[in-house]
Amino acid sequence: MAFIEKMGDTLFNMGKDVSQKAKDMSGIAKLKLNIRAKEDFVKAQYMEIGKAYYERHRGEETPEQERFDLIDEALEAIEEMEMQILELKGARKCPGCGAETSDTAEYCSVCGTKLSVVVEEEPEEEKDAAIEFEFEPTDAKEDEEKIGD
């Protein structure tokens, strides 16, 4: 019987140890998660500081000019790609609020700004070519001869 009691005590102590280890592991996991959240917060603050510095010193000669130029190029590329997306969607941005609107809309549905209607014109070369084909000069005498034949 002493053997069974000793075995019961051992199992009970092992259960307590496992339970404590699980609590410790859970605590460690929670702490690591909190550390990650705080690190992400710090990174976000660094980014905001960097953005504020960039915006404040943009156009000035700074030791970070090379990085500023890279940022400017990336922002221009982003703007071009966003314009391509709008073009593919048949949309445009409202100059008043920046909302996406249909390219045929006369007013922004968000802020009510009157949108200029874009009328695409043919390039001058195409207009001239069209005129040449439509109004090709002919010799009146040749026309009379053709009609008389």
* SS3 per-residue string spanning 86-121: HHHHCEEECCCCCCEEECCCCECCCCCCECCCCCCC
- Give CA torsion, residues 4, 5, 7, 9, to 10 deg: 160
Within-domain flag for 108:
yes
Q: For residue 3, what pLDDT is reported?
A: 79
- pLDDT for residue 93 is more than 50: yes
Within-domain flag for 128:
yes
pLDDT tens-place string over residues 112-147? 999 876 545 555 555 454 444 444 445 555 555 555
Q: For residue 43, what pLDDT is reported?
A: 94
Domain span at 1: 1-59
Domains held by the chain: number: 2
Residue 84's pLDDT band (cuts 50, 70, 90): very high
Reported pTM: 0.48
d(CA 58, CA 63): 12
Within-domain flag for 35:
yes
Answer with the one of 59, 83, 102 that is the final residue of a domain: 59
Backbone angles phi, psi at 7, to 5 degrees: -65, -40
pLDDT tens-place string over residues 11-59? 888 888 888 888 888 888 989 999 999 999 999 999 999 999 999 998 8
- pLDDT for residue 4 is more than 70: yes
Instruction: Please give the average per-residue pLDDT across 58-83, as a whole number.
Output: 92
Within-domain flag for 70:
no
